Amino acid sequence: MARRTGLVAAVAVVGVLTLGLLASIGAAGPTDNGNQRMVGYFEVPSVSTEAGGRFELRIGDSQLQYTLTYSGLEGAVAQAHIHFAQPAVNGGITAWLCEATATSPQPDFDTQCPQSGTVTGTITADDVLATPSPSAAQGIAAGEFEEFVRAIRAGFTYANVHSAKFPGGEIRTQIKARGGGGDDD
């Protein structure tokens, strides 16, 4: 009887640990990245700028909802994206957040970047781009929403805002998904 009780207890512990692990990697439910700070020092190479911002991302079953807030950019705002790359490395654009030109390189894209302020939007599979050359070998194809979300949850995406003064990006944050256990994360 003691052996059976021990086995039941061991199975229960493994079950609890497995559920904890799944929740920590965001395997179930919406995931929130919190409200992450964007600064020039996170750019590659680092940028010395007074500009700053915040980036929030909420992962749902078939869409991402984002809020991007920024101010103080030293150059005219050009565009903002989510890129696929680990910290301290530049990677290909995977999704547009906003752009400031009248003609966007992304067909049917119309979310305009203000010089400062807040941009909100939703990203679906239709908005996921193939990581462009020379980053085509990165492996996220156009429309691969689940692959994109996997990269976000693993911490291998970043958001940044590009300006005319710093065309490679003036402020940036690495996206760090947290939660995964439900709407109260």
pLDDT along the chain (185 residues), means of 10: 49 39 40 84 97 96 96 96 95 92 59 94 92 67 93 95 96 82 35
Question: Which residues are registered as beta bridge partners of 92?
Answer: 84
Domains of the chain with bracketed CATH: 2-179 (2.60.40)
Asked if 94 contacts 127 with a C-beta cutoff of 8 angstroms, the reply is no
Distances (CA, A) of 86 to 31, 112, 148, 151: 19, 27, 13, 9
Residue 16 near residue 165, CB atoms below 8 Å: no
Query: What is the model's pLDDT at position 111?
Result: 86
Pair 79, 113: CB distance under 8 Å: yes
Alpha carbon dihedral 110, 143, 26, 44, in 10-degree steps, equals -60
Q: Which residue matches tokens 């003691």?
A: 2
User: How much is the pLDDT for 168?
Assistant: 95
- What pLDDT shows up at residue 108? 58
Residue 118: the pLDDT is: 97
Q: Spell out a b/e string for 130-162, using b for 16 or more CB atoms within 10 Å of the CB, else e.
A: bbeeebeebebeeebbeebbebbbeebbbbbbb
Q: What is the pLDDT of residue 100?
A: 83
**Of all residues in the chain, what percent are helix, strand and coil, respectively (each to 5)?**
20, 30, 45
